[in-house]
Amino acid sequence: MEEYPKFKDWIVELLRRTSTDLPADVIAALKRARDSESAGTPAWSVFESILQNVDVAREKSTPLCQDTGTNVFLVHHPRGVSTRAMARDIVAATAVAVEKCYLRPNSVDPISGKNSGNNVGPGHPYLHFEEWDRNDIQVRVMLKGGGCENVGAQYSLPFAPLGAGRDLKGVETVILDAINNAQGKGCGPGAIGACIGGDRASSYMTAKEQHFRALDDSNPDPVLRALEERLFDKANRLGIGPMGFGGQSTVLGVKVGKLNRLPASFFVSVSYMCWECRRRDMWIRNGEMQIE
């Protein structure tokens, strides 16, 4: 990007940090989950192995998982910044990150089955740009693995098989159903992102965007905050535990957003994130870069 000649290099570093080092809130949640289990149990052993893996990945700057996922970018920028130039540099940085082994080449053409070899292709990386009033640039990235993506779900209320109506009780019922159906798949314990409302596409995207929230944050909407707390408590009483081995921690967090809907539609979408919760924010302020 012309205004920021180091932008591509900064994105490469952002991808390295995201792929190899978890945010502090995620590590803290994993440690709390481990400490909630009895030492020597299968659940405790899983968490102990996970935390050892986290340390090794950080020390050796190697990916936390062989599935480095779909790279989802959400960029906020001031007026006048070229989104085309940013997109060009983000795509180029993605290919460099693969060359440096920060990302695994896992972008595959759905028709031919051919791997692009550099994680670049239609929809890869996924880019979304939003203009805002601030002078800073914020680049948010999430690495969304395929295994956890497979156990996401979308419901249309009313949902007769569960007796779920068009109310908060029905919403709670179907989100818990999605968590229960995942069982040990999706590399649990999961972090749950959900959206109430919207259309099919916007509902899923808003559910996924919940993963950008810190696991220990508090929803500013009191109704959604109470719903998140109830779902977190009930999900961790399911006894599924990490990787389905049983235990006290089935989810690390539950985050819920909402969108207006049409009278004829009432969608509830659930995005399941694996225990890694690989996400980072990069800020550009006064020409300087900072990764959080």
pLDDT in tens, 200-230: 999 999 999 999 999 999 999 999 999 999 9
Question: Which residue ranges make up each domain of the chain?
Answer: 7-18+64-145+278-291, 147-273
CA–CA separation, 278 and 282 (whole Å): 14
144 alpha carbon, distance to own chain's centre: 6
- Hey, which CATH number is domain 7-18+64-145+278-291, 3.10.590, 3.40.47, 3.30.420, 3.30.1330? 3.30.1330
pLDDT of 252 > 90? The answer is: yes
CA–CA separation, 174 and 162 (whole Å): 8
CA–CA separation, 229 and 226 (whole Å): 5
Mean pLDDT (whole number) for 261-278: 98
Q: For residues 175 and 270, is the Cβ–Cβ distance under 8 A? A: yes
Tokens of 40: 């020597």
Task: Classify residue 276 as exposed, middle or buried by CB count within 10 Å of its CB (0-12, 13-18, 19+).
Answer: buried
**Interval 64-122: pLDDT, tens:** 999 999 999 999 999 999 999 999 999 999 999 999 999 999 999 999 999 999 999 99
Q: Which residue has the tokens 């460099």?
A: 96
CA–CA separation, 272 and 256 (whole Å): 12
